[in-house]
Amino acid sequence: MKKIKLEILGISYSQSQSGAYALIFGEEGQKRRLPIIIGSFEAQAIAIELEKMKPSRPLTHDLFKNFATTFNVSVTEVIIYKFSEGIFYAKLLCFDGIKEVEIDSRTSDAVAIAVRFKCPIYTYENILDAAGIVMQEGDESLEGAPGKSTESDPESEPSGASAEYSHMTLKELEKKLMEAIDAEAYERASVIRDEINKRKRNKE
């Protein structure tokens, strides 16, 4: 079965599940999108790596990468291979220089590991047919997307959390972001990062 390469387009608060996040994939070079609902911890783990934040201590996915590379094991690709009853299934393809091994994984964990190994993420046509959305010009809403993850329900983000930072300058926000990372307050860091990204988009 032909593999279809995906690219991560972004992470946003889920409009359909309170306290969760939507991880948005795009089919490379095409208009189809594959939204997957994930928990806040996994969203932060992905965002921290994408934004090149440096935690004061390794997160679980950083530990996985450090452990694997210490023993000369690399993750060569991630495949989202199944979609059943609203749940996505993924696997890691690992290589130790001699043999390749497939390891089952939650999709959110697989993606958090993939961004650390900088390896490609793939899926199949039948999954995009079942759970993908074709975006029209000017249509940015992914409300009602069918996909959800296998995570348990995450804690809800406090209402209006970003309002606390709306009066701060970009320099102040960047300082607050580093303080939150140093304190390992990744939920707060995620909110500050979103505010910084919003400011930068508004300047473009």
Element at 59 (helix H, strand E): none
Q: What is the pLDDT of residue 137?
A: 56
Both 171 and 148 in one domain: the answer is no
Q: What is the mean pLDDT of each run of 10 residues along the chain (204 residues)?
A: 93 76 90 91 90 85 96 97 93 96 96 97 95 70 44 38 73 81 70 77 70
Q: What is the pLDDT of residue 21?
A: 87
Structural contact between residues 25 and 36, judged by C-beta atoms closer than 8 angstroms: yes
pTM for this prediction: 0.72
Both 81 and 165 in one domain: the answer is no
Both 146 and 182 in one domain: the answer is no
**Residues ≥6 apart with Cβ < 8 Å to 189:** 44, 48, 53, 177, 180, 181
Q: What is the pLDDT of residue 153?
A: 36
Structural contact between residues 26 and 6, judged by C-beta atoms closer than 8 angstroms: yes
Q: What is the pLDDT of residue 177?
A: 78
Range of the domain at 70: 3-157
User: Six-digit token pair at 109?
Assistant: 């964990």
**Residues ≥6 apart with Cβ < 8 Å to 85:** none
Both 45 and 81 in one domain: the answer is yes
Both 30 and 120 in one domain: the answer is yes
Q: How crowded is residue 38: how many other Cβ atoms within 10 Å of its Cβ?
A: 31
For residue 32, give the CATH number of its domain.
3.10.690.10
Element at 97 (helix H, strand E): none
Both 92 and 42 in one domain: the answer is yes
